[in-house]
Structure 1
Amino acid sequence: MRIAVIGGGVSGLMAAYRLRTILGDGADIVVIERRQRLGGILHTGELAKHPVDLGAEAFVGRRPEMPALLRELGLEQQLVFPAGRTPLVWSGGVAHPMPQGTLMGIPSTAESMRGLVDDETVAMIADEPRRPLAWYPDADMDVYSLVASRFGAQVAERSVDPLLGGVYAGSSRSIGVRAALPTLAAALDAGATSLTHAVAAALPPPSDTPVFGGIRDGYRVLLQALSERSGARSLTATAATRLARSTRGWVVDPIGAVDAVVLATPAPVAARLLRTVAPAAAAAAAGIEVSSSVVVALSLPRNTALPDNSGILVATGEPLRAKAFTLSSRKWPHLAARETALVRASFAKFGDDAPLSWTDDELIAAASEDLATVTGIPIDPLEAVVQRWPGGLAQYAPGHLDRVAEIESATAEFDDLAIAGAYLHGVGVPACVATGERAARHLAARYAPRS
């Protein structure tokens, strides 16, 4: 039996690995990846002779998928947690503590915003529970429209946008409430009388479990383990150009006939490949837009007087080119032990692809100058590395859940085709791992050996 996994990111590699564990050695699994390497937008490079993640560098630790997968792969010793420091927000030319007790930056109390927004906005937040709320169950809107109408534009631009920019490389104007904030939408659907009350109901209960986790030696450890344990043949620098039905399965150009397919690509590629076999799914996938970004990692002298914070997020409208800085040596204890300090600068949001066209030298200079601005100290990198991510992140716009439901419904008729990827049920690594797991089990329901 021959299975094609189109897309060699973490979703596709997880699907290949799980198919191997279920189907055994008899399956011929082929991973087709258009890039020169496996991993998709997860990539571990090298800086100052140490590994450095140049895509995602953390995952939501309170979801079970990653700790469970690391244990299964024998990599539990690689699991690390942040030091517990909090980020700053750069707004109005000043670094402010990130407000606490918020839901993706949306406050549950007015006092949590004091100092970051003006007094008029604080008063607007405090008064919000007394104003009538119009919310229609099953409707959707962008996060900005909801937050700005209830709490004011400053809350959206100074508190919400910096966080959404880190997760989606987007903004509150490009991201929908239902897809990005499902617990908030559920609270509103259940009849919350104000946004304040809905946020309070949607906040997760207090927990001692770290919010985030990471991998000590970078995501390459996970990617390599999945690839090796899957036993799949990998064809890198190879684009799948056509997906067509055949009498006994599928034809995938350029590899030919296969019995089953896992389609683990970005939404635009899925739309193109599904166009003739599942037109409704292709149309829905084509409606999911993507955003580009750039990461610049800087190696600094170890004694650089960086703030004692995990990072610095930049509010919308600030005259800086970078959108965020991760103070990696402050954030992660295992990185603090290195002989140099590590900072990651992020550039570009949805609708702004300009930084991708800048030269490496221009990006490194912009990262260094903006970091000097927000920290107030001279920045003179010892080394730097640049990673561009064109079209790297799906935008979970209003109506996203309906698009995904259409994609899944229109492909459900095929028991020999499964879909996976970051455009479906979350852009984070645990969500991608979950889609790969689900895709493999969908195929295994047909092909797994019966006892």
Structure 2
Amino acid sequence: MREVESSAGTGGAGHVIVVGAGVAGLAAAHRLLRRGARVTVLEASDRVGGKLLPGEIAGARVDLGAESMLARRPEAVALAREVGLTDRLQPPATATASLWTRGALRPMPKGHVMGVPGTAAALSGVLSDEGLARVERDADLPRTEVGDDVAVGEFVAARLGREVVDRLVEPLLGGVYAGDAYRISMRSAVPQLFQVARTHTSLTEGVREIQARMAAGRQTGPVFMGIEGGIGTLPLALADSVRAAGGVVLTGTPVRELRRVTTDGPDGAGAGPETWRVVAGDRVLHGDAVVLAVPAPAAAALLRADAPAAAAELAAVEYASMALVTLAYRRSDTALPEGSSGFLVPPVDGRTIKASTFASQKWGWVAEENPDVLVLRTSVGRYGETEILERDDAGLVDVSRHDLRAATGLDATPLETRVTRWTDGLPQYPVGHHARVARIREHVAKLPGLAVCGAPYDGVGIPACIASAYAAVDQIHGDLSGVQELTAHPVQSLHGGAGE
């Protein structure tokens, strides 16, 4: 094993080692280079991008992971522009989605915040008459205390009834976290709702206040943004930018050990400066600082020696697994609801798939590049659902086709199918998640030159991961304001605003 990349005497910002080449790690590397650091990025897998994965099916370029980014937060779109993707940024061609519930595709309601309405009428057509009447009772109920945190589903069901949660909140949240609304933290996942829950007796009144604020300061432009060729091309462009700026990006290089060590002084007596010793593959690297941008279990393993308390907290973070099934059809063989971007499926309806995206209708570039091919995606798997993911790829395709036929009437034979499995792909944000993140960062802050970032902390969406990366870079440079702000106010990963 060879000792390489000694950081002694680098000057300036020194040598920073970034562990993980997902969008968070690459965003951190990009910012570090702009601040004058020497940067090495180490990635265990054979590619960059993490949960952002470009692919191809039947000659059509597609995303096999995340497919869009929230545009109402500045981080992701701004970074895409910085790395040369300005001309390829595209909003959805249609954002008109449906709910497949109670035996029919029903228009997605407007005028809600993450499925929570300002009035019962906003959910007409989705809820039963009994469910709508239950929403109306919110104004007459006594105050429901939320304390330091509360589960989204638990609180909303107490105020508005379970039907609101089961038919609308659950599929919206499940699409982001593959989780259970009755476990997911309202403070971490839907901070807007948490704030009004603390200040208002009536939840619907609080939602109307949110809607009024949004209307008064309404942002222009699309809510979500895509990239021609797929969101999965963003980390590829980021990695190219990092390399062009002098950074090193090494794939197939798993980090096996991370330790804070004292280097030898001029007399060889170990009185030199402290550095980070990183064992990766057949290399031993030394850095002035380290940014850990890896999933919680990997971070826990690397911090066990020097930060055992942080490691214990990280090891307790749970994950959900899911799979994406991508199907390509001859356009002449298909007939989908015109102008629709797809649909969500409430778990209470007992279907196997939890959502479907009509990619060729949602993204103009897919249709333009492949006019004779129609591409759809379905997703399967939620937190606690393991049996469905034990099926082989053909089995997942079969259940997806079965549900698509029942929802839309689509009965054609696909030209090609692809199954992409994201095992332990989505960190869960249960009640108390914000407090766990605060404890992790408190322990990490005791070790100079160490920061953590990514999906386990401040939000699972792309802007949230990038904001987390930027805060980690600031921390490396002695500025804790970014991590303090994110810990106090996580980035909501799904826009749930009025009228959307």
Q: TM-score, normalised by structure 1?
A: 0.93
Q: Determine which of 419, 430, 451 is the counterpart of 1:418.
A: 451
Q: Return the letter of the residue paired with 1:216.
A: E
| Cα distance change, pair 257–35 in 1 and its aligned pair in 2 (3 A) | closer
Matching of residue 12 in structure 1 with residue 42 in structure 2:
no
Q: 2:361 aligns with which of 324, 330, 354?
A: 330
Q: Does 1:185 align with 2:213?
A: no
Report what 1:449 is aligned to.
none
One-letter code of the match for 2:160? F
Q: Deviations over 1:346-403 (max 9, x none)?
A: 0100111233322111111221121111102313211111110011111111111111
Output one character per residue of 1:138-186: Cα deviation in whole Å (capped at 9) or x when no partner. 4211111111111111111110111111111112123111001111111
Within 5 Å, which residues of 2 pair with 1:144-183? Answer: 144-183=153-192
Query: Which residue of structure 1 aligns with residue 220 of structure 2?
Result: 208
Q: Which amino acid aligns with 2:421?
A: R
Assess if the C-alpha contact under 8 Å between 1:94 and 1:374 holds in 2: yes
Q: 2: distance between equivalents of 1:301 and 1:388?
A: 25
Distance 2:412 2:312 in 1: 48
| Most deviating of 199-208 and 352-361 | 199-208
| Counterpart for residue 306 of structure 1 | 336
Amino acid at match of 2:148: A
How big is the shift at 1:321? 1.3
Q: Which residue of 2 aligns with 1:382?
A: 415
Q: CA deviation at 1:45?
A: 0.9
Write the distance in 2 (CA, Å) between the matches of 1:161 and 1:398.
Answer: 16
| One of 280, 285, 293 as aligned partner of 2:314 | 285
- Residue identity in the other structure for 1:432: C
Q: Is the 8 A contact 1:44 1:220 kept in 2?
A: yes
Which residue of structure 1 aligns with residue 117 of structure 2?
107
Which of 242, 262, 276 pairs up with 1:250?
Answer: 276
Report if the CA contact (8 A) 1:22-1:444 is conserved: no
Specify whether residues 229 and 377 from structure 1 end up closer, same or farther in structure 2 by C-alpha distance, changes over 3 A only: closer
Distance (Å, rounded) in 2 between the aligned partners of 1:115 and 1:218 = 34
Shift of residue 212, structure 1, vs aligned partner: 0.4
- Name the CA distance, whole Å, in 2 between partners of 1:441 and 1:177: 27
Q: Are the counterparts in 1 of residues 61 and 366 from structure 2 also a CA contact under 8 Å? A: no
Distance in 2 separating the partners of 1:85 and 1:11 = 27
- How high is the sequence identity, in percent, across the aligned residues? 41
CA–CA distance in structure 2, aligned partners of residues 422 and 444 of structure 1? 22
Moved more, 330-339 or 170-179: 330-339
Partner SS, residue 377 of structure 1? coil
CA offsets, 1:212-259, max 9 Å, x none? 001111234321221122123333233222221101211222332422
- Which amino acid letter does the alignment assign opposite residue 209 of structure 1? G
Post-superposition shift, 1:34? 2.1
Instruction: Report the equivalent of 1:22.
Output: 35
Residue type of the partner of 1:238?
T
In structure 1, C-alpha distance between the alignment counterparts of 2:155 and 2:467, rounded to whole Å = 30
Counterpart of 2:255, as a letter, is A
Contact 2:44/2:253 (CA < 8 Å) preserved in 1? yes
Between 1:437-446 and 1:109-118, the stretch displaced more is 437-446
Give me the whole-angstrom Cα distance separating, in 2, the residues matched to 1:386 and 1:377.
19
Deviation larger for 54-63 or 433-442: 433-442
CA drift of 1:202 comes to 3.0
2:323 maps to which of 294, 306, 313: 294
1:42 equivalent among 52, 68, 82: 52
- What's the TM-score, normalizing by structure 2? 0.85
- Provide closer, same or farther for how the CA distance between residues 438 and 388 of structure 1 changes in structure 2, counting only shifts above 3 A: same
Matched residues, number? 441
The offset of 1:444, in angstroms, is 4.2
Provide structure 1 residue ranges, at least 5 long, that are not aligned to the other structure: 447-451
Cα offset for 1:445?
5.0
Could you say if the C-alpha distance between residues 115 and 219 of structure 1 is closer, same or farther in structure 2, counting changes exceeding 3 Å? Answer: closer
Report the more deviating stretch, 381-390 or 432-441.
Answer: 432-441
> 1:60 and 2:90 equivalent?
no
Aligned to 2:351: 320
Q: Does 1:230 align with 2:242?
A: yes
After superposition, the CA RMSD in angstroms is: 1.7
Q: Secondary structure at the match of 2:62?
A: strand
CA distance in 1, matches of 2:60, 2:131: 45
Contact 2:65/2:232 (<8 A) preserved:
no
1:194 and 2:194 matched: no
Unaligned residue ranges in structure 2 (runs of 5+): 1-6, 8-14, 263-273, 480-500
Letter in 2 for 1:324: A
